[in-house]
Amino acid sequence: MRSESPLWQPSPDDVANSNLAAFARKFDLPLRYPDLYQWSIQNRETFWRGVWEFAGVVGSPGASTLTETKPFTDSAWFEDAEINFAENLLKYDDNQTALIEINERGTRKELTFHQLRDRVAAFAQELSRLGITRNDRVAAWLPNNADTVVAMLATASIGAIWSSCSPDFGVEGAADRFGQIEPKLLLTTDQYQYNGRTYEVSANVPKLTSRLTSIKHHLCRSDDPESCDFQRIYENGVEALTFERLPFNHPLYIMFSSGTTGVPKCIVHGAGGTLLQHVKEHQLHTDLSRDDVLFFFTTTGWMMWNWLISGLATGCTLVLYDGSPFFPRRDTLINLIDSERISAFGVGAKYISSIEKVQVKPRETHELSSLRTILTTGSPLSHESFDYVYRDFKEDVWLASISGGTDLISCFVLGNPLSSVYRGEIQGPGLGMATSVFDDRGQSILDQKGELVCTKSFPSAPIGFWNDADGSRYHNAYFARFENIWAHGDFAEINSSTGGYVIHGRSDAVLNPGGVRIGTAEIYRQLEGFEEVVDAVCVGQEWADDTRIVLFVVLTEGLRLNKHIRKAIRSAIRTNASPRHVPAKIEQVADVPRTRSGKIAELAVREIIHGREVKNTTALENPECLEQFKGHEALQT
């Protein structure tokens, strides 16, 4: 791969003062990221125990760090350790602000670490009074606010298992998820706001509980203190907050896959692996400390919510935002950077491209003096979005694109404070994560596109899937392609010159015209330069014993797709990618289906244009738009 000049380089002082430099000094290691990474892979036991000590994890690590076995899934990390996840997120007990809660109407609340501990103590007391005990499931149909964080920490403190989705999931979507795990307690809200509208959802609660026969208790969170169970709980007398120390792999979260082609998978994550991965990523990779203010735009149905909340273990202040990122203005989230002094600002890649399209230029309208880091994930960040950030956002910001997933509740590849940032690239692999890119024969490759894999076990691998007694679903999800190798499902490439990674899209959505594998992100990238194109989805259509590329585009309001726009798009793709990348068909649609975490639902479109049923439309933010793809006339010839 060709290497361009870096867009950003850390200063010598920033490198020397980073947490990662302090970690390297602890082990007398050279301060070069490739060397640190190789050491972390070759010495995984020393590395992960070092993370435990460096981050000040509360609990007993035990004598054993790793018992390595085959298969991958049977390797045991910290098998005699004892910890409590909530105890680690609540180890600070002072008057520093822990949570800042803001919604799109501008309502703002704060909780200090001391106040947060008090509320968690009260809520844990209520859970015990209701008979919720170790391993019981607590299902939360709640928005992203402080009450939800309190409930999660209280659940973890007593060893119960937390699972959540946002209230914009309908009854079917929530039932598809919670119905599989048989929760004992349901937590709900009576309403939520989005894009200036208030949605009353209290009538949905009896509909959901009638589907969830395991529910024994229900608590409602409301803005009306008179009808808010949470407020009543906080006002009760509080006993001392206690934490039950549990095994390293005690189940903490049940997460759900997007589920756009079937019922969502129920992925069970352990407390210890989740905690270790998150403190590593926060402190060593994102260089967070108690002085930082961390923000990520997310809902409670996306793993980035869980990742964000773990920032409490570092003692930094978290900003929780609930509502539309574009209401009442396109720069609503950017306003938060200045008003809340955010230092690490996290958003989906789609957000960056969206504000670029409407010519938001934060460097001209905002101070941004507190902003040090921009984090992006959810989908590949295009080369043009890298340019936009450094041109129109902030020229000296550290742009750390990250990629992993719900499957590991963390990242395989992400930023680090020692390496340069190159256009279109994620800085490198995560410490302790033996990542590689394989070709179809299972051989490691550089400067070529292939399957993103992990060749050795890591602490935050799922402890299993719910209701998967023989482990077959777990095995088929990650290990069916290469023996004892985690195949992640991303189509990726490693730049041998920089060590950076490029994600070209999901490998199950890879296009294969004439036997040539093409990532959809390669085509989306070429559309960034077209002001006429607001959004797009690209899929492969089975046609004439081959696959042809079909590109659907959403155009600026009032525009119609014509031969001139088609010709310009094809020309750009042919010139900047290759003739193989040029779509056989380019058609206009009104909208593109996306999951609730903002990812383009390519597989759903692929299924529907082939006349196959999309089995789980509740996973989509806008399932109604699928109708426009059914029997599309232009695809019949």
In single-letter form, the type of residue at position 516 comes to: V
Average pLDDT over residues 48-69: 97
The amino acid sitting at 480 is: A
Instruction: Please give the C-alpha separations between residue 482 and each of 71, 451, 508, 509, in angstroms, as whole numbers.
Output: 12, 10, 15, 19
| Cα angle: 226, vertex 230, 236; to 5 degrees | 90
Q: What angle do CA 410, 6, 427 make, to 5 degrees?
A: 15
Q: Which pLDDT score, from 0 to 100, does residue 145 have?
A: 97
Q: Is the pTM of this model over 0.75?
A: yes
The DSSP output letter for 508 is G
351: region left, alpha or beta (phi > 0 left; psi from -120 to 50 alpha):
alpha
Q: Which is more confidently placed, 102 or 257?
A: 102
Longest dimension (CA), the chain: 72
Q: Output the pLDDT for position 2.
A: 53
Q: Are 629 and 637 in contact (CB under 8 A)?
A: no
Closest listed residue to residue 254, CA positions, set 475, 411, 465, 478: 465
Residues facing residue 485 across a β-bridge? 482
pLDDT at 136 over 80: yes
Going 451 to 454 to 459 to 465, the CA torsion angle's sign is: positive
pLDDT band at 418 (very low <50, low <70, confident <90, very high): very high
Which pLDDT score, from 0 to 100, does residue 229 have? 95
| Residue located via tokens 């890119």 | 437
573 and 581 Cβ atoms separated by less than 8 Å:
yes
Give the pLDDT band (50/70/90) at residue 227. confident
510-636 folds as GMP Synthetase; Chain A, domain 3 (3.30.300)
- For residues 151 and 116, the answer to whether their CB atoms sit within 8 Å is no
How far is the first Cα of the chain from the last one, in angstroms, to the nearest whole number?
Answer: 38
> Residue 540: helix, strand or coil by DSSP?
strand
570/434 Cα distance (integer angstroms): 39
What is the three-state SS of 334-372? HHHHHHCCCCEEEEEHHHHHHHHHCCCCHHHHCCCCCCC
Is 504's pLDDT higher than 80? yes
Query: Given a cut of 80, is residue 328 above it in pLDDT?
Result: yes
pLDDT over threshold 70, residue 262:
no
Number of CB atoms found within 10 A of residue 630's CB: 10
Instruction: Please give the distance of CA 496 from its chain centroid, rounded to a whole number.
Output: 27
Q: Where do we find the tokens 């298992």?
A: 161
Q: What is the pLDDT of residue 464?
A: 96
Checking if the pLDDT of 568 tops 70, the result is yes
Give CA–CA dist 321/407, Å, rounded. Answer: 24
As a whole number of angstroms, the distance between CA 51 and CA 281 comes to 10
- How much is the pLDDT for 303? 95
| DSSP state at residue 521 | H
Considering the chain, what percentage of its residues have pLDDT values greater than 90?
Answer: 83
- Rounded (10°) angle between helices 520-527 and 563-576: 120
> Among residues 293, 288, 377, 362, which one has the least CA distance to residue 331?
362
pLDDT surpasses 80 at 545: no
At residue 514, the pLDDT reads 75
pLDDT digits (tens, 9 = 90+) for 270-321: 999 999 999 999 999 999 999 999 999 999 999 999 999 999 999 999 999 9
* Token representation of residue 635: 């695809």
How many CA atoms are closer than 13 Å to the CA of 305, on its beta-carbon side? Answer: 26
Q: What is the mean pLDDT of residues 438-461?
A: 96
Determine how many CB atoms are found less than 10 A away from the CB of residue 214: 16
Task: Provide the β-strand partners of residue 348.
Answer: 377
For residue 497, the cross-strand partners are: none
Q: What is the pLDDT, as a whole number, of residue 263? A: 75
The average confidence (pLDDT) of the chain is 94
Show the tokens assigned to 230.
């949470």
Neighbours of 536 (CB within 10 A): 21
- Other C-beta atoms closer than 10 Å to the C-beta of 563 total 7
Query: Among all chains, which residue has been given the structure tokens 């060397």?
Result: 35
pLDDT at 564: 95
The pLDDT value recorded for residue 313 is 98
> What are the Cα distances from residue 414, in Å, to 8, 52, 142, 404, 617?
15, 20, 29, 8, 31
Instruction: Give 210-264 as a DSSP string.
Output: HH-TT--EEEEE-SSGGG-HHHHHHHS--PPP----EETT-EEEEEE---TTSSP
Q: How would residue 580 be classed by pLDDT, with cut points 50, 70 and 90?
A: confident
pLDDT above 70 for 204: yes
Q: Are 279 and 310 in contact (CB under 8 A)?
A: yes
Contact 433, 250 (CB under 8 A): no
Average pLDDT over residues 574-596: 91
* 99-131 b/e (C-beta count within 10 Å ≥ 16 → b): bbbbbbeeeeeebbbebbbbbbbbbbbbbbeee
Give residue 259's pLDDT.
60
* pLDDT band of 350, cuts 50, 70, 90: confident
- Report how far residue 391's alpha carbon sits from residue 393's, in angstroms, rounded to the nearest whole number: 6
- The predicted structure's pLDDT at residue 278: 98
- Full DSSP string of 105-151: T--EEEEEHHHHHHHHHHHHHHHHHTT--TT-EEEEE--SSHHHHHH
147-199 tens-digit pLDDT:
999 999 999 999 999 999 999 888 888 998 999 999 999 999 999 999 999 99
Looking at residue 419, its pLDDT comes to 97
| Cα–Cα dist 516/627, whole Å | 30
**pLDDT at res. 589:** 96
pLDDT score of 3 = 57
Confidence class for position 1, pLDDT limits 50, 70, 90: low
CB 125 within 8 A of CB 238: yes
**DSSP letter at 522?**
H
- Helices 44-54 and 271-279: crossing angle in degrees, nearest 10, is 80
HSE-up of residue 586 (Cα within 13 Å, Cβ side): 25
- Among residues 493, 505, 495, 565, the alpha carbon closest in space to that of 531 is found at 565
Q: Is the CB of residue 628 less than 8 Å from the CB of residue 543? A: no
Q: What radius of gyration do the chain's Cα atoms show?
A: 24
